[in-house]
């Protein structure tokens, strides 16, 4: 437990490096492909999250007990969250040049999940890994090592900002994941 807190603190100190112009471009180019299939990609990402990390379903009243991936795929609550996640990422990708906009979007997301939905922040880290995994598989032609590196940087930055908001609102971890 103490070790985990150390890790979170260490994460806080290491602000991810800002994106290079070339990395922004790679992210925007690959996102354009992903966003063409926004619903499919979003649903595939969330299904992978909920199947591989079933405890992440606990926050979703309408499908927390559902295990069958085909059943999950039909859930309106899941599909709605998929769309919201994809739209938020789209706003970030469209505004990578505007640090203030990025921060304001992530503040809203962080606050809603900490205060309203009471989601353990570790799930944002887990979701980042799932996003990289699913996009790497489904868009393998586009996700070269350089592209994966750029996306990793962006996802790390998202997590860093979200954890910052959790700390600001005084989040206390209630249970082990
Ligand atoms: C990049 C990551 C994420 C983004 C951009 C995102 C975005 C959103 C947005 C925009 C909303 C609705 C706005 C609101 O309630 O104020 C929402 C709701 C919600 N999110 Fe997320 N989310 C993310 C990650 C997660 C994760 C990792 C979980 C939990 C494992 C989660 C659980 C929820 C829940 C339970 C709701 C409420 C659902 C409902 O009322 O039907 N979110 N999310």
Query: Domain holding 24: CATH number?
Result: 1.10.490.10
pLDDT at 5 over 90: no
In a domain, 77, yes or no: yes
C-alpha pair distances (Å), 71 with each of 79, 81, 97, 155: 12, 16, 39, 29
In a domain, 124, yes or no: yes
> Which pLDDT belongs to residue 14?
80
Nearest of 71, 72, 79, 67 to residue 40 by alpha carbon: 79
In a domain, 125, yes or no: yes
CB of 103 within 8 A of CB of 157? no
The pLDDT tens digits for 108-147 are 999 999 999 999 999 999 999 999 999 999 999 999 999 9
Judged by DSSP in three states, 133 sits in: helix
In a domain, 7, yes or no: no
The response to whether residue 118 sits with its C-beta less than 6 Å from ligand 1 reads: no
- Which ligand 1 atom is at minimum distance from the Cα of 59? 35
Residue 42 sits in which domain range?
19-168
The preferred substitution site among 84, 88, 91, 134 for testing ligand 1, maximizing ligand atoms within 8 Å of CB, is: 84
In a domain, 13, yes or no: no
The percentage of residues in the chain with a pLDDT greater than 70, rounded to a whole number, is 90
In a domain, 6, yes or no: no
Q: How many distinct structural domains can be found in the chain?
A: 1
């Amino acid at each position: 437990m103490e070790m985990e807190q150390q890790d979170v603190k260490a994460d806080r100190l290491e602000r991810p490096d800002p994106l290079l112009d070339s990395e922004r471009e790679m992210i925007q180019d690959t996102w354009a492909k992903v966003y063409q299939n926004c619903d499919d990609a979003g649903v595939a990402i969330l299904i992978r999250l909920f199947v591989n990390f079933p405890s992440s379903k606990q926050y979703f009243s309408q499908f927390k007990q559902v295990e069958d991936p085909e059943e999950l795929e039909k859930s309106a609550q899941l599909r709605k969250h998929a769309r919201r996640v994809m739209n938020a990422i789209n706003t970030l990708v469209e505004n990578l040049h505007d640090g203030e906009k990025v921060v304001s979007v992530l503040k809203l997301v962080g606050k809603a999940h900490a205060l309203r939905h009471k989601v353990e922040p570790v799930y944002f880290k887990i979701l980042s890994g799932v996003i990289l995994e699913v996009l790497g598989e489904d868009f393998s032609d586009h996700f070269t090592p350089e592209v994966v590196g750029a996306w990793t940087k962006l996802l790390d930055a998202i997590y860093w900002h979200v954890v910052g908001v959790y700390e600001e609102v005084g989040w206390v971890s209630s249970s082990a994941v």
